[in-house]
Amino acid sequence: MSEPTVTYEEARAELARVVERLESGGGTLEESLALWERGEHLADVCQRWLDGARARLDAARRDRDANAT
């Protein structure tokens, strides 16, 4: 929610970059921890986006089924 403008693709791309950097090692522990926190946050953003999309899809299907009867 801290980043309402970020799109799913942007969040996912950044998440992939974060994971890559984490996996390649290097940097201070402080930096690694900060990266990890960023990664968790981005993963949450992506998940919320997917959950939201699925909820909208389900709602639309319910509406359609309700209208169909």
Partner 1 sequence: MTQADATPRSSAEEPWPVRVVSQKISAWVARLGWVWIDGQVAQVTRRPGTSVVFLTLRDPAADISLTVTAHRDVLDSGAPALTEGARVVAHAKPDFYPSRGTFSLRADEIRQVGLGELLARLEQLKKLLAAEGLFDPARKRRPPFLPNRIGLITGRASAAERDVLTNAKRRWPAVEFRVVNVAVQGPSAVSQIIDALAVLERDADVDVIVMARGGGSVEDLLPFSDEALCRAVFACRTPVISAIGHETDTPLIDFVADVRASTPTDAAKRAVPDLADELRLIATARARLDRAATNLLDREQQRLDAIRSRPVLANPITMLDSRSDQVNSLRERADRTVSHRLDRAATELHHTLARLRALSPAATLERGYAIVQRSDNGAVLRDPADASVGDAVRLRLAGGELAARVTA
Residues 3 to 62 in contact with partner 1, rule: CB under 8 A: 8, 12, 15-16, 19, 22-23, 25, 29, 32-33, 36, 39-40, 43, 46-47, 50, 53-54, 57, 61
> Which of 3/40 has CB closer to partner 1?
40
Q: Which of 36, 37, 2, 4 is nearest to 21 (CA)?
A: 36
5: exposed, middle or buried (C-beta count within 10 Å: 0-12, 13-18, 19+)? Answer: exposed
What's the residue count for the chain? 69
- Tell the residue number behind the tokens 């309700």, with chain if given: 66
Interacting residues toward partner 1 by CB under 8 A:
8, 12, 15-16, 19, 22-23, 25, 29, 32-33, 36, 39-40, 43, 46-47, 50, 53-54, 57, 61, 64
